[in-house]
Amino acid sequence: MLNTGKLAGKVIYVTGGSRGIGLSMALKAAKDGAKIVIAAKTAEPHPKLPGTIYTAAKEIEAAGGAALPCLVDVRDEGAVQDSIEQAVKHFGGLDILINNASAINLTGTQETSMKKFDLMHQINTRGTYLVSKCALPYLKESAKKGRNPHILNNSPPLSMKPRWFRDHVAYTMAKYGMSMCVLGMSEEFKKDGIAVNAIWPRTAIMTAAMVMLGGGNEIAAQCRTPDIMSDAAYVILTRDSKSFTGNFCVDEKILREEGLTDFTKYLAVPGTKEEDLMPDFFLDEFLEVEQQNLVERQTEAVKSKESAAPVSSGGGSADIQKVFNQIQPILSEDIVKKTNAVFAFSIPDDKSEWFLDMKNGAGSCGSGAPPQKADVTFTLKTADFSKMFAGKLKPTTAFMTGKLKISGNMGKAMALEKLMGKMQKRSYSTSVPERWSPISKL
């Protein structure tokens, strides 16, 4: 998506803009010659995450824009107000606000501490509301000058489907709070000519935060780059603020509206098939795929009952034991230290329980209950268990398509893919018959 120059001279305030999607959006605007305020709380290098407000400012200037790095915690009302006033004084106004700062913790109710609950709500919902409130007087001035003011929140379409609340209700509430700001403020500010919209990715986006969350570099093959979000944001921010407001936009759909049909340039790993990309949360279109998979699995189950032929040479616990026999040699104190999680596996069709302890000592695995409370419990069929560890079925894809149920810490669940990647590099294989290959993919 080429730059058109429409953001030249525009003053854009970006929260959480020192890295990832926020920085990508800032750099896209900088190519037009926009003036960017980087409002984030990273002034010193993070041990795991790249980028500070100062390195981001240098990148923005190198891309052709002007930059003002501001040390801001969006939970601090005084800091937010001061930074916006500083931006207006430095650049002469404020035209666009991008509420990108967000906190994530994908855990169930019992596993979510109130500290994490408060953090997500203070940054996601309250932070978005606060920054929008402080920026509003200056956005109104921008509207009076005909400078096409926008607020853009990085938040999902609102949906009351229980599926999006079931596994991480605290995070969903906090993220939907950002979306509710879009719903309410777009109507409230419409008379002022200020657009308020949301943007959300259709697929997972590969960022350093994704790696730290537990996905590891191995997950890149299921992701797109932040560039697709920044290109989509550019389209939104250059549309007429008086007519394009109150929309919950999905990156791919916005770009298709502009005539783009080839999205291969956004692949985090070139050559990845589009259908192998991991769908993001909160998009109801994927619930239809999940339902389709359920029907296909039920049909497969009926057929298997009608057939007298055995489905595998070993079957049930024997196949699962084979997997754990190959996991054991890979375990080490180093892997345990990096993973720091206990996984439990419930196999309903085999009526068996298994565990993988990657929290204690050099790690251990086997049948039965784990030696201590599991951080994550996976529920899936024997065949899907074997396919996951053989690399034929990605856990994230299995989860989104309903083949895998996860309870507990979702972040820790993502870390399991790192171990699977190591197994696949060691040419791990199972005796799962070819006809057990996935019926459909996303």
The three-state secondary structure class of 178 is helix
Tokens 């019992």 appear where? 110
Strand-pair partners of 267: 224
Q: What is the CA radius of gyration of the chain?
A: 24
Query: Which long-range contacts (C-beta less than 8 Å, at least 24 apart) are formed by 351-356?
Result: 352/316, 352/317, 352/320, 354/320, 354/324, 356/324, 356/327, 356/419
> What is the set of active-site residues?
171
Residues pairing with 70 in the sheet = 39
For residue 249, what is the enclosing H or E element? strand 248-250
Q: 146's torsion region: left (phi>0), alpha (psi -120 to 50) or beta?
A: left
In sequence order, the β-bridge partners of residue 212 are none
Query: Of 198, 194, 131, 148, which Cα lies nearest the Cα of 10?
Result: 148
Alpha carbon of 360 to those of 32, 321, 357: distances in Å?
Answer: 52, 21, 7
Whole-number Å distance between alpha carbons of 345 and 324:
12
For 314-341, b/e burial (b = at least 16 CB within 10 A) is beeeebbebbbeebeeebeeebbeebeb
CB 342 within 8 A of CB 373: yes
The CA distance from 120 to 172, in Å, is 10
Separation in Å, CA 425 to CA 71, 389, 429: 43, 11, 11
Distance between CA 157 and CA 396 in Å, rounded? 21
